[in-house]
Structure 1
Amino acid sequence: MSKTMQDFDYLGKKYFPHWIEAGRALGQAEATLIAGIVRVLEMRGVEFSDDAAERIHRCKSLDQLVTWLHKAPKVKSADDLFD
């Protein structure tokens, strides 16, 4: 194995697990917030369209998801989350 490949292999083993774990944690946080939003809406009997559900599930912004979670107990419709 060449020196360049050894260096790359070493750096990959050193740094990739950190980034993989960071990505996994971010994904888990997103999934938890999404589940919370949907659960609050369902518990309150708030119906939501497929478009609203897709928008919630596709969101990758933790800040936006937290905002929607805070609004979920107060809205009359899922579309009100997005105002």
Structure 2
Amino acid sequence: MAIQYFWRHPLAEQVREEGREEGLERGLEQGRAEGKAEGKAESVLRILEWRNIPVPQPVRDRVSTCTDLDQIETWTQRALHATNAADLFAEE
């Protein structure tokens, strides 16, 4: 009986609601970060394609799955001057 009262108590409802809101906010932040990384990674691949540089599947996979925005920025800069797709990873 006491447990049922606890779960129905307004304070318990408030705590659950705050937890849901916090979880939703974290999920949205993570989703935005992942979306940003995906967009930037796609830009790296587009730059290479616009420059008529063939992009092998292993390179495409590595770039597409990267979530480190700093690393993707480095690859973007390298893509502007690369002579082949492997040049993205030359200094790693």
| Aligned-partner Cα distance in 2 for 1:5–1:48 | 54
Runs (4+) off by over 6 Å: none
**What 5-or-longer segments of structure 1 have no aligned partner?**
none
- Which amino acid letter does the alignment assign opposite residue 82 of structure 1? F
User: Which residue is equivalent to 1:65?
Assistant: 72
Deviates more, 1:4-13 or 1:66-75: 4-13
Larger RCO: Structure 1 or Structure 2 (Cα < 8 Å, ≥ 6 residues apart)? 1
- Amino acid in the other structure paired with 2:18: L
2:75–2:88 contact (8 Å) kept in structure 1: yes
Deviation of the 1:14 alpha carbon: 2.8
Deviation at 1:22, TM superposition (A): 0.5
List per-residue Cα deviations over 1:9-38 (Å, max 9, x = no partner).
223233112111101110111111011101
The alignment-based identity, stated in percent, is 20
- Name the TM-score, length of structure 1 as normaliser: 0.86
For residue 6 of structure 1, report the CA deviation from its aligned partner.
3.2
Root-mean-square deviation (CA), in Å? 1.9
